[in-house]
Amino acid sequence: MPMPTLAVVGATGAVGAVMCDLLSSRRNVWGEIRVVASARSAGRKVQCRGEELTVQALRPEVFDGVDVAMFDVPDEISAEWAPVAVSRGAVAVDNSGAFRMDRDVPLVVPEINPEQVRNRPKGIIANANCTTLAMIVAVAPLHREYGLRELVLASYQAVSGAGQVGVDTLHDQLAKIAGDRVLGSRPGNVRQAVGDDLGPFPAPLALNVVPWAGSLKEAGWSSEELKVRNESRKILGLPDLKVSATCVRVPVVTGHSVAVHAVFGTEVDAEGAREALRNAPGVILVDDPAAGEFPMPIDAVGTDPSWVGRLRRSMDDPRALDLFVTGDNLRKGAALNTAQIAELLAAELASR
Amino acid sequence: MPMPTLAVVGATGAVGAVMCDLLSSRRNVWGEIRVVASARSAGRKVQCRGEELTVQALRPEVFDGVDVAMFDVPDEISAEWAPVAVSRGAVAVDNSGAFRMDRDVPLVVPEINPEQVRNRPKGIIANANCTTLAMIVAVAPLHREYGLRELVLASYQAVSGAGQVGVDTLHDQLAKIAGDRVLGSRPGNVRQAVGDDLGPFPAPLALNVVPWAGSLKEAGWSSEELKVRNESRKILGLPDLKVSATCVRVPVVTGHSVAVHAVFGTEVDAEGAREALRNAPGVILVDDPAAGEFPMPIDAVGTDPSWVGRLRRSMDDPRALDLFVTGDNLRKGAALNTAQIAELLAAELASR
């Protein structure tokens, strides 16, 4: 059969741009690639695989002849348009939150549950949240080794998780504060220097950390914190997994980090855990504090794997491990995982 | 009796400067105040209580006639000189790590264990680590209510925890990166822009988070992480408390934050926990996410209390609470707690 046709919906966003980068650098399994966005962006040019592609407006006909449609758009656009793509014959791979917890939509991380790709009664496959992805790729091999029971998580999330407007907001704020060496040492002076333009965030990010991401849900939990819990359970196939997450935004451009306390069913040892991680796909072990080697956003940005380090067995519980994980939230956390799922579909089509 | 004489040793450092601020703004219980530092700083002038004081070089005679000597100096200086101050008749209140875990030295947080001040066989009282202090003031009232069993902690630590050189390093780095809007989005470009001057940190802090504070101890744990564990146990009088901490430095000037997962012996409820915190000394409850109210460094800096918010009962364990705490690491985390201990001693002297 000829090489399949791919549509990239949301091609002009922050994740869409990374997607086009990835399609240009990964082994090519695609015939035609169509780039799709809102009517506002139609006609713009996008570079992909060395070609200049013209952005098409999102409408039903754009999916005719498409085999796989990747969506990197807001929840409500995905909810409406992924089924349209399916009705036109495509399989939809969706990076929004619209379908992740739908029982009839698999939530796939190719390093962990690739077989779930075939279990798609709605023709839709969901991609996990960026915070879940960075962490789960590192936790899954440990789960296979020791049997995961509980996760306590604290995140250090980059501003690009809120899109290009998040990145612009942080750079604007840093430009305003640079040179004033008193800022951050007196109450309120950062708020005053930054002014009212907080972009998509509830507070200034420059010289600050903001313990909030997403919207308010039940009992004080944020949507981001519940996503991490629910998606971790679904991806690992552990419906009773205990998960407590605190999600915090930090002044980092790209690269979500998570401090992980993982409790297992059996005793763990740090060297055995390191060995499991050395052999795990999608993971790079950076764990030599004496040499200054631990996972950090400035190193992980622009790379594919989850960077994992700071492995320590709890001093008070032989079944618990503490570790630190950093991953590029636009790549593995979004575009890369979507591309990997699409490539599983391309292989399935090729094997028919 | 006349008002007691106080010596401030390390008066020219970052914490010493905050100490002089505090002595100028708190209810005055002191007669003479002597400011002391290394011979290098002797002769410098320091403002305190509206007076201009001349810094004296550290030598044994400087403690003659001193009732209380506060030390904000490196561990090895405290280890040598706190006993000297005692031998000259002073009680030493030490903010270094030199004596904190000494069985014969109480580790005092006046909101939690003020009675321990009198239990000082060596004439020395220790002040806790800045990361422990921000968190423990919020956790202690919950312990009294529900009986603490376990803490899982992830910190977001400000650069001033590494002294004025830490603050200067971050400002220097921010000045170098401001205006370049590509930085942080490509691997290695922050390292390149920042250059080799990392100050007291093992990696750049601008646009980064660094999962390391202190020195390497057994089994991959950092000294900072072990301090939080050991000091929490000692302050709360819980020698078997389970504690796992991951300590992370973030690009914040002043204000240490901690994401806390606390497991108790009995069921908790978030509203009861809020009520306990509302009535607790040294705590301010800021817990209204819908209104954008949660604890953050840019608000907590320059203030006395621990800011506490994001209270949530775990969805999977009715005995567990998640919360977020921010405190000024130079005030409650250092100078303020030291001043409070010294004031307990002043009251003791006055009551004789």
A321 and A219 in a common domain = yes
Residue with more model confidence, A54 or A188 = A54
Q: Tell me: pLDDT of A286 over 90.
A: yes
Mean pLDDT of the region B232-236: 98
> What's the pLDDT score for residue B180?
87
ipTM above 0.90, yes or no: yes
Mean pLDDT of the region A90-100: 97
Residues of B in contact with A205 (CB under 8 A): none
Instruction: Please tell me the total count of domains within chain B.
Output: 2
List all residues of chain B from 115 to 174 with a beta carbon under 8 Å from chain A: 150, 152, 154, 156, 160, 167-168, 171, 174
Helix-helix angle A336-350:A14-25, to 10 degrees:
50
Q: What is the pLDDT of residues A136-159, one digit of tens each?
A: 999 999 999 999 999 999 999 999
Q: What is the pLDDT of residues B15-53, one digit of tens each?
A: 898 999 999 999 999 999 999 999 999 999 999 999 999
Q: What is the DSSP string of A153-199?
A: EEEEB-GGGG-HHHHHHHHHHHHHHTT-TTTTSSTTHHHHHHTT--T
Q: For residue A132, which of A343, A337, A341 has the smallest C-alpha distance?
A: A337
- Asked whether residue A192 is assigned to any structural domain, the reply reads no
> What's the pLDDT score for residue A178?
86
Interchain pair B246, A310: CB under 8 A: yes
Task: Closest CB to A296: pick one of B203, B290, B317.
Answer: B203
CATH number (domain holding residue A63) = 3.40.50.720
Interchain CB contact of B207 with A (< 8 Å): yes
Confidence of residue B185 (pLDDT cuts 50, 70, 90): confident
- Asked whether residue A25 is assigned to any structural domain, the reply reads yes
B154 and B82 in a common domain = no
Helix (H) / strand (E) containing A71: strand A68-71
Contact by Cβ (8 Å): A139, A228: no
Interchain pair B178, A181: CB under 8 A: no
- Asked whether residue A279 is assigned to any structural domain, the reply reads yes
A156 and A93 in a common domain = no
Mean pLDDT of the region A105-124: 98
A301 and A258 in a common domain = yes
Interchain pair A244, B160: CB under 8 A: no
Residues of A in contact with B249 (CB under 8 A): none
Q: Tell me: pLDDT of B350 over 80.
A: yes
List all residues of chain A from 243 to 272 with a beta carbon under 8 Å from chain B: 243-244, 246, 248, 250-254, 257, 259, 261, 270
> What's the pLDDT score for residue B13?
87
B10 and B23 in a common domain = yes
Q: Tell me: pLDDT of A241 over 90.
A: yes
Q: Tell me: pLDDT of B197 over 90.
A: no
Of the residues A171, A298, A315, A326, the best mutation for testing chain B's interface (the one with the most B CB atoms within 10 Å of its CB) is A298
Distance from CA of B207 to the nearest CA of A (A): 4
**How far is A297 from B40, CA to CA, in rounded Å?**
40
Q: Is B10 annotated as ligand-binding?
A: no
A142 and A21 in a common domain = no
Q: Tell me: pLDDT of B67 over 90.
A: yes
User: Which member of B20, B48, B130, B247 is catalytic?
Assistant: B130
> What's the pLDDT score for residue A269?
93
Interchain CB contact of B298 with A (< 8 Å): yes
Task: Closest CB to B315: pick one of A188, A229, A298.
Answer: A229
B256 and B145 in a common domain = yes
Helix (H) / strand (E) containing B175: helix B164-177
Distance from CA of B245 to the nearest CA of A (A): 8
Mean pLDDT of all residues belonging to chain A: 96
A259 and A148 in a common domain = yes
- Asked whether residue B96 is assigned to any structural domain, the reply reads yes
Q: What is the pLDDT of residues B298-347, one digit of tens each?
A: 999 999 999 999 999 999 999 999 999 999 999 999 999 999 999 999 99
Q: Tell me: pLDDT of A88 over 80.
A: yes
- Asked whether residue A12 is assigned to any structural domain, the reply reads yes
Distance from CA of A92 to the nearest CA of B (A): 28
> What's the pLDDT score for residue B316?
97
> What's the pLDDT score for residue A182?
87
For CA atoms A73, A78, A84, A85, give the dihedral sign. Answer: positive
Contact by Cβ (8 Å): B77, B96: yes
Length of chain B (residues): 352
Interchain CB contact of B320 with A (< 8 Å): yes
Q: What is the pLDDT of residues B279-305, one digit of tens each?
A: 999 999 999 999 999 999 999 999 999
A308 and A242 in a common domain = yes
Helix (H) / strand (E) containing B310: strand B306-313
Q: Tell me: pLDDT of B2 over 90.
A: no
Q: What percent of chain B has pLDDT above 70? A: 100
Is B20 annotated as catalytic? no
What does DSSP assign to residue A233?
H
> What's the pLDDT score for residue B187?
87
Q: Which residues of A are catalytic?
A: 130, 256
Confidence of residue A197 (pLDDT cuts 50, 70, 90): confident
Interchain pair A296, B220: CB under 8 A: no
Q: Is B13 annotated as ligand-binding?
A: yes
Length of chain A (residues): 352
Residues of A in contact with B207 (CB under 8 A): 251-253, 297-298
Q: For residue A113, which of A273, A341, A285, A352 has the smallest C-alpha distance?
A: A341
> What's the pLDDT score for residue B42?
96
CATH number (domain holding residue A293) = 3.30.360.10
Residues of A in contact with B241 (CB under 8 A): 316
**How far is A259 from A326, CA to CA, in rounded Å?**
9
Mean pLDDT of the region B55-80: 97
- Beta-carbon contacts of A154 under 8 Å, excluding residues fewer than 6 positions away, are A245, A246, A248, A258, A259, B154, B246, B259
Interchain pair B309, A211: CB under 8 A: yes
Domain that includes residue A153, residue range: 131-163+202-329
> What's the pLDDT score for residue A64?
98
B46 and B23 in a common domain = yes
B31 and B109 in a common domain = yes
A39 and A136 in a common domain = no
> What's the pLDDT score for residue B162?
93
- Asked whether residue A181 is assigned to any structural domain, the reply reads no
What does DSSP assign to residue A351?
T
Distance from CA of B219 to the nearest CA of A (A): 6
* Phi and psi angles of residue B149, each rounded to the nearest 5 degrees, phi first: -115, -35
- Strand duo B124-126 + B68-71: pairing: unpaired
Mean pLDDT of all residues belonging to chain B: 96
Q: Tell me: pLDDT of A1 over 80.
A: no
Interchain pair B211, A324: CB under 8 A: yes
Interchain pair B184, A301: CB under 8 A: yes
Q: What is the pLDDT of residues B130-174, one digit of tens each?
A: 999 999 999 999 999 999 999 999 999 999 999 999 999 999 999
- Asked whether residue A295 is assigned to any structural domain, the reply reads yes
- Asked whether residue B54 is assigned to any structural domain, the reply reads yes
Interchain CB contact of A242 with B (< 8 Å): yes
Confidence of residue B179 (pLDDT cuts 50, 70, 90): confident
